[in-house]
Structures are given as C-alpha cells and as structure tokens.
A and B are shown apart, each in its own frame.
Chain A
Amino acid sequence: MATSASREQVETQQTATPTTASGPTAIEVSELNLYYGSFLAVADVNMSIERNKATALIGASGCGKSTFLRSLNRMHELVPGARAEGTIALDGEDVYSPTVDPVAVRRRVGMVFQAPNPFPTMSIYDNVAAGLKLNSRRIKKADLDVIVERSLRGANLWDEVKDRLDKPGSGLSGGQQQRLCIARATAIEPEVLLMDEPASALDPISTLAIEDLVQELKREYTIVIVTHNMQQASRASDITGFFNIEAAGQPGRLVEMDTTEKIFTNPSNKATEDYVSGRFG
C-alpha cells in the first residue's frame, strides 16, 4: 500500500528529523505498516527507541499511537484480522520473524494498559507473581517473595499494601491498581515497558505518582509511553514522537520524532507545532 505520496512522506520525515540518537538503540522499527483487515491503520513508521530513555508518543485520538505501541510486543495481532508488515528489531532481532514466538517477545517487552486490570481472582501477591507463576517456571517461595517485594517497591506500592498482600487486588484504589499492574509487568523483568495511556483513568495525584515512577523505572527499563496529555509527555519523557493522520480514513504516520525539549519548544514540522501549541487535536 506504499503510495508515492507516502514515500515522499518518509523521505521528508527522515530529512526533517535527523538522528538525534545518542544512546544505544533498544528497538529499531523500520518500514512498519499495520493493518486491521484491509484497512491500513499505521503507515511507514521508522523509529529508533533508545535504551533507558522514556519515549512518549503523542497525537490526536485515532492516529494509531496505541496500535503502534501494541505492535511492539505483538499484541496488535491478537485483534482478529490484524497484521503487521515491516520489521521491529529488538536488540537486532526481528520480533516479526516467522520463527519468533510472540509469547517470548512479550516476556521481554511488557505492557501496562490504559485501565488498571488486575486479575480479579488473585490476591495482590498473586497478581504480582502471576507472570512468573503462570509461566510455570519453578520458583522457590522465598525467591518469589523477594521478587514480589522488589517489584512492589519499584512501583512505589510496597508500603501501602505490605500488610494486605493476600487481599484481592481489585480492592485497591484506581491509582494503586495501576501501580500494581506496573509491579506485575516489571516482576518478569522485561527489557522494555510499554505504557498505553497509563494515567488517563487516574486522578492528578495518582497521575503524578505514575509519572514519577516512569522517571525511576527508566533506569532499569526502556519505556515507551502513549499519552494524550502533553504536559505528561513534556514532564515524563526524554524523546517524543508525534503521530498524525491527514484525514479520517487515512493511515496514521509518525510525523516527527526528536528530543522532548525540541518537540515542545521548536518543532520542525508545522503540524507538530500546531498540535503541541494546542491549535488543533
């Protein structure tokens, strides 16, 4: 479906966003097209995601940010009819290679969702331990205790729940549930943590807690965060990518990607400038 117009777009985009990558690359996306059935939802994405940085993806609703994010750990293809073309290289290995097991990809690229979704049948402890226990790896109870505590501490939740680890996770507040989900995702020690609007269902205080957490988490993980909230992107991220669609029914494209500071102060693209200054979207 690569039209000549879209090729032009790629070229302008590549010239418009010179590689600012300073750190090592964790994920290299090239020529990525994402489809729902025959509908091209995201077109021609080329992107380098740097290790131990927080990368924010911004853009209006329906521009394909979430679809793109879900393609990074092969969650995109879980939607019936959805498929991906192009390559996403995780440490140089194409995750879309036919011989790669998507389950193995997801163990290295974890994900936190928009709405907190702890497993309702499990306790707080079991929620955090779920990724390890359900993968049937044999783990000693003592080791598991250590991992659960470390993950909950990492998610700034330990002090709030240490006395009720055996209580159901659904009994926590929304913000606590979301941090529980972050603890659950980090317990399996992924390399990359994807966050799909992790704070959009939360109040401002819980949102701030999540943003602070992102700052801490990026020491150990590479973070990709989709957000509608531009203050959030400017506060919490190092690199920002702007997605846009030209019109309804058109595929979403990565318009510009640069350091967060540059995107928010001096973007090279007019559409980016309009968006971050609130003139549309």
Chain B
Amino acid sequence: MEVAAPRLPRYRHLPAWAPWAVYGAALALAFAMSRMTGVNVALLAVAAVVLAGLVVHAWSRTVEGARQAVDRTATLAVTSAFALALVPLVSLLVTVVRKGAERFDLEFFTHSLRNVVGEGGGAVHAIVGTLIITAVAAAVSVPIGILCAIYLREYGRGKLAAAVTFFVDVMTGIPSIVAGLFAYAVFAIVLGPGIRLGVIGAVALSVLMLPIVVRSTEEMLRIVPDELREASYALGIAKWRTVVKVVLPTALAGIVTGVMLAIARVVGETAPLLVTTGVITSVNTNPFAGRMMNLSVFAYYEYKTPGVPPEPYFARAWAAALTLIIIVLALYTVARLVSRRYGTEIRR
C-alpha cells in the first residue's frame, strides 16, 4: 500500500547556531587577517560579513529552500544595520568614559576653577550653572508649554489654533544659536550691550524647549480617549474640570516623560549659552547677576584655550563631557521610570 505524499511541504532546518557560527568565524578571520596584514579592520570585517552572508544564503538554500534563505539574508541585513548604528554610539561612550575618568574625581565635583592654573580645579561652578540655567528654563517653558498644548487640544478651534500650531512647528526648527542671539538681543536692548546673565541663557533654552514640550504634551492629550471626556461631561462636570481632573491625570505620565526628554534635549546646549551666559571661573548661584558657567561651555573653553601644558585642561573637558552625559542619562532614566511606574493604561 502506497503512503500518500504529504500535502504540506516539508523542509529541514539548519541548526539555530549555524549562521551565527559562520558570521562569527568570518569576523574572527577578518580580525586575524587585519593583525597579520595591517589592512584596515573595518574594511575586512565588512567584506567578511558580506561573504559569510553569501555562504549562509547558499547553504540555507540547499538545505532549507529559497524562502528560508531569503529570510536568513534579511535577518543578517537588519542585524548588521543595527550593529552599524550602534558603532558610533558605543565608540563615543567608550571614548568619553575612558578619557573623562581621568579627572572624574572628588576635586572635580567640589572645586571650581577659581585661581586655578594648570592641574587640579573642578567644574562645580559649571555643574551648578547648568543645573540652575536648565531649571529656570524648565520653570519658564514647562507651564507655558503644557497650557499651550491644553489650549491646542482641548479648546483651540479655527485660525488662532492653526496659527499657534504653525508657529510651534516653526519654533521646533529654530537653530539653537538663533535662540541664543534672540535672547541676548532682547536683554541687550534693555540692559545694554555686552550683558551676560544666567537668565538670558535660560530664556534661550526655554525658546528651544517650548515647542518640544508643546508637541509632546499635545500628543499625550490626543491619545486620551474622547470617551473619557464624554463620560465626564455626561456627569455634568464642566469642561475645565474635565481637563484638570480627568484628562490631565490620564496623560500625566506621558507629559512628565515628554518634559524630561525636553530638558535632556537642552541641558547639553552649547551655542546659545556661549553668547548669553559668558565665561567665568567661580561659582555663581544667582542667574540674575553676573556671568554663569555651564558644563558644555566649560568643556568647550577648556579644549579651545588650554594652558601649558594642555593635558590637565583636556582632561577637565572630557570629565565635563562625561558629567553631562551622566546627567542626560539620569534624566532619561527618570523619564522611563515615571512612565513605567505611573503610566496609565490607555485602552484603544
């Protein structure tokens, strides 16, 4: 008796480790050859991955069939793209950590550069300045931004809302130096040319922050389902109370996350602060009087105008860069934690 041929096509699989073994071997070979011949390792690695991809494709085609072979190649393509995108990021992090670690010490966080020439000294004046300037910028732009988003989503109709949306979009594209010059010009008109204050930098940063806060908050309000607003209206709750008590709490985690990301976006700005807050070597905690240092301008000046020998200045610049990255990382982490901890599940 003859067994009926299976109607579902059967195929064999390559073992799960097989393609990765081929890619790994190819990369190892590339590194070894680079060592021996002195040819650029990146070049060899790319060639090796392409060759290995062809090998796996052919192997998979003979064993598994054409569709699986294409799948293998596509997997390799997206994985390589991901790895490629990761290269500059990892390289940057490694460089900053390695070079910044040299002066990432207690003195760096307890001393300013007041009366420091050459080695030693710290960036406490720049850290304090960065925190104060960013805090003032956030204090200005977060309330305005959130209220503006509430207007756009909950109240705005017609021409005015369209105009506000348009200008918010335009503001998103403002080069940061233009924001700095604008803030400087505004204060220079009133206080005279050559003025340098922490608050001018804060105004420049809030010009940059505002559109980000508006946009992200508006998005968050948009995903609050209309059903909740209607449920509230149907209880005879007035519109502004609905916004304050129902819509905002529902979107709160998303709004906080957006604000954190906006702060992270401006905390490392250099150009607008360069022209507005000036350069100083001592701690200044008053944004309304005197110049104020910040981390990115600190790093820039240590690198641009080193003394002799320049090494201690470079080391301080790298340590400042590392500090800045850690601050940004902390803000992102807090944003993630907030959205995970307080995130309201929004259905639909």
Which residue numbers of A lie inside 8 Å of B, CB to CB? Answer: 73, 75, 78, 80, 103-108, 110-111, 113, 115, 117-121, 130-131, 134-136, 170, 181, 184-185, 188
Given A75-B233, A106-B233, A113-B227, check contact A120 B250 (CB 8 Å): yes
- Contact present for A117 and B236 (CB under 8 Å): no
* Residues of B with C-beta under 8 A to A184: 231, 235
* Residues of B with C-beta under 8 A to A75: 230, 233-234
Q: What are 28 A-B interface contacts by the 8 Å CB criterion?
A: A75-B233, A75-B234, A103-B236, A103-B237, A104-B236, A106-B234, A106-B235, A106-B236, A107-B235, A110-B235, A113-B227, A113-B231, A119-B246, A120-B250, A120-B345, A121-B252, A130-B237, A130-B246, A131-B235, A131-B237, A134-B232, A134-B237, A134-B245, A134-B246, A170-B345, A170-B347, A181-B231, A184-B231
- Contact present for A117 and B250 (CB under 8 Å): no
Is B24 part of the binding interface, using a Cβ–Cβ cutoff of 8 Å?
Answer: no
- Contact present for A135 and B237 (CB under 8 Å): yes
Question: Which one of A104, A111, A119, A136 has the highest number of Cβ atoms from chain B below 10 Å of its Cβ?
Answer: A119
- Contact present for A121 and B249 (CB under 8 Å): yes
Is B95 part of the binding interface, using a Cβ–Cβ cutoff of 8 Å?
Answer: no
- Contact present for B346 and A131 (CB under 8 Å): no
- Contact present for A188 and B236 (CB under 8 Å): yes
A105 and B234 alpha carbons, distance in the complex (Å):
9
- Contact present for A130 and B232 (CB under 8 Å): yes
- Contact present for A135 and B234 (CB under 8 Å): no
* B140 CB, min distance to chain A CBs, angstroms: 28
- Say which residue of B232, B234, B241, B344 sits within 8 Å of A110 (CB atoms): B234
User: Restricting to B139-182, which residues have a CB under 8 Å from any CB of A?
Assistant: 157
- Say which residue of A121, A131, A134 sits within 8 Å of B344 (CB atoms): A121
A75 and B250 alpha carbons, distance in the complex (Å):
22
Which residue numbers of B lie inside 8 Å of A, CB to CB? Answer: 157, 225, 227-228, 230-238, 241-242, 245-246, 249-250, 252, 344-347
* Residues of B with C-beta under 8 A to A104: 236
Number of A-B contacts (CB under 8 A): 82
- Contact present for A120 and B237 (CB under 8 Å): no
Given A121-B249, A121-B344, check contact A130 B235 (CB 8 Å): yes
A131 and B246 alpha carbons, distance in the complex (Å):
11
- Contact present for B228 and A117 (CB under 8 Å): yes
- Contact present for A119 and B231 (CB under 8 Å): yes
- Contact present for A185 and B233 (CB under 8 Å): no
Closest to B346 in A: A120
- Contact present for B235 and A185 (CB under 8 Å): yes
A225 and B245 alpha carbons, distance in the complex (Å):
29
* B92 CB, min distance to chain A CBs, angstroms: 40
A221 and B345 alpha carbons, distance in the complex (Å):
33
Closest to B235 in A: A131
- Say which residue of A80, A134, A170 sits within 8 Å of B157 (CB atoms): A80
- Contact present for A111 and B234 (CB under 8 Å): yes
* B232 CB, min distance to chain A CBs, angstroms: 7
- Contact present for B236 and A107 (CB under 8 Å): yes
* A117 CB, min distance to chain B CBs, angstroms: 4
Closest to B224 in A: A120
Closest to A136 in B: B241
A89 and B58 alpha carbons, distance in the complex (Å):
79
- Contact present for B227 and A185 (CB under 8 Å): no
* A95 CB, min distance to chain B CBs, angstroms: 13
* Residues of A with C-beta under 8 A to B230: 75, 78, 111, 113, 117
Closest to B225 in A: A117
* Residues of B with C-beta under 8 A to A117: 225, 227-228, 230-231
A128 and B347 alpha carbons, distance in the complex (Å):
20
* Residues of B with C-beta under 8 A to A73: 234
- Contact present for A78 and B344 (CB under 8 Å): no
Closest 4 pairs between A and B when the two form their complex, measured CB to CB = A107-B236, A131-B235, A111-B234, A106-B236
